Amino acid sequence: MTTSLWRNRDFMVLWSGRTLSEVGDAVSLLAIPLLAVTVLDATAVEVGILSATRMVAYLFLSLPAGVWVDRMRKRRVMVVCHLVRAGLVATVAVGAWAGWVTMAHLWIVALLSSVCTVLYETAHQSFLPAVVPGGQLLEANGKLATTYAVSRIAGYSVGGALASALGVARTVGVDALAYLVNAASLLFIRRAEDPPAAAGPRDFRRELAAGLSFVFRHPIMPRLVAASASLNLFSQMIFALAVLYLVRDLRLDEHTVGVVLALTTLGGIGGGLLSARLARLVGSARIIWIAPLGLGWTVLLVPAARPGWGPVAYTVGMAGLGALFAIYNAAAISYRQGVCPPELLGRMTASIRWVIFGVMPVGALAGGLLGSWLGVRPTLWIAAVGVWASGLWLYFSPLRRRRDVPDAASDAAPSPAARERVPVDMAGEATGGGRRG
């Protein structure tokens, strides 16, 4: 009989520490841009660079991170990453308190933190199976995903209140403390981790090429990647300018900014809870393009907002974006898993993450540059239209003729050698002994 996750001590320790660090992350995501805007009087370009450097490691580190982490002790990687991030954030808190913090300092901290984030996330996903039985991984990942959304609400709310009451310098220090506590909590996990596999001869470039080849030779996958990349690109333009827009255009104080950002995350929670039901109702493949086209228009409320009633419009628009991402991601990931051979799943996932996460710093930087050149509000109009139009990549594709994602369990899996050579038809199905929808 499988023990409930609530009685799995190691998972509860891992989950509790992760929750605390997520809350701290949300505090920093609010407090550091507030520091840049309200204390350093940052321009739109400087804020865009700050947001871009926070994600730039996805562009150059996503592909090799998996190979490196597989050759290390996962928990050790996670502890070291948290300790380094705690130290980096602490320098911002001390610098802000002492009066010597600069935008260059914030950029360097964001860049180094992004490296730690990529390594930590890769190690965390690989470490979870060591503390959770295989039959409970779905439940465990569901709890972690819900924690992420709820932590954003708590972090933004607490961050806004602390910034208003204590100032941004002390508020940034809260994140450093959260990282230290999480690093310490990982040491209390009792389950012994399997030692890393011995590094044997392997052709790293050839393995990566196999994943990239599957993605970009598939009839649907390139359009799915293009849609996901477009969503990330244009949404990051909005996120990069969010604090600047709320403070200078909508004229909100620090506490209200925190409350507004917290409320926008409710869309992601609602979308996550409804995603499975909506997929069953309209089709698990059809919902992939319906989500951006059906919900993307709500983002137009963001640039339409004005002082006074603007916070309500902004909240509704960004909550719609959160629901869009939750519903779209659940369906898109299921589609990728349904059509990809099991032995290529890791490489396929790394290849797609390299593209769709790699555009995020580009979007943030583009938002800052366009915000400085055209103005913040016109840039937000461009980004909002781009979010909605992302769904057109899939609407004008063979995916529109499908209702549901292929079921990976509907047929016996072919041999690994045969699966590498399986052709695919124009509906994204494997043929010649592969999968049928």
Which domains are seen in the chain, by residue range? 8-144+155-189 (1.20.1250.20), 205-431 (1.20.1250.20)
Q: 19-72, pLDDT tens digit by residue?
A: 888 888 888 888 888 888 888 888 888 888 988 888 888 888 877 776 677 667
What does 8-70 look like in DSSP terms, one character per residue? -HHHHHHHHHHHHHHHHHHHHHHHHHHIIIIIS---HHHHHHHHHHTTTHHHHHHHHHHHHHH
Q: pLDDT: is 164 or 367 the higher one? A: 367
Listed in sequence order, the residues at least 6 apart from 273 whose beta carbon sits closer than 8 Å to its beta carbon are: none
C-beta separation of 240 from 380 below 8 A: no
Residue type, 427: A
Q: Where are the alpha helices (DSSP H) in 132-253?
A: 137-166, 168-186, 204-217, 221-244
State the greatest distance between any 2 C-alpha atoms of the chain, in Å, as a whole number.
68
CA dihedral 405, 410, 412, 414 (to 10 degrees): -20
Nearest to 373 by CA among 248, 234, 241: 241
C-beta separation of 226 from 393 below 8 A: yes
What pTM was computed for the model?
0.68
User: Exposed, middle or buried: residue 94 (CB in 10 Å: 0-12, 13-18, 19+)?
Assistant: middle
Q: 298-334, pLDDT tens digit by residue?
A: 999 999 999 888 899 999 999 999 888 888 877 787 6
Listed in sequence order, the residues at least 6 apart from 22 whose beta carbon sits closer than 8 Å to its beta carbon are: 147, 148, 151, 152, 155
User: Exposed, middle or buried: residue 73 (CB in 10 Å: 0-12, 13-18, 19+)?
Assistant: middle
Residue 147 tokens read as 């924690």
Rounded CA-CA distance 170/426 in Å is 56
Residue 18 tokens read as 């992760």
Residue 297 tokens read as 């228009």
Rounded CA-CA distance 218/348 in Å is 11
Q: Average pLDDT for residues 170-197, to the nearest whole number?
A: 81
Residue 196 tokens read as 């890393």
Mean pLDDT of the chain: 79
Residue 196 pLDDT > 80: no
C-beta separation of 152 from 28 below 8 A: no
Q: 112-163, pLDDT tens digit by residue?
A: 999 998 888 777 766 777 777 756 665 676 567 667 777 777 777 778 788 8
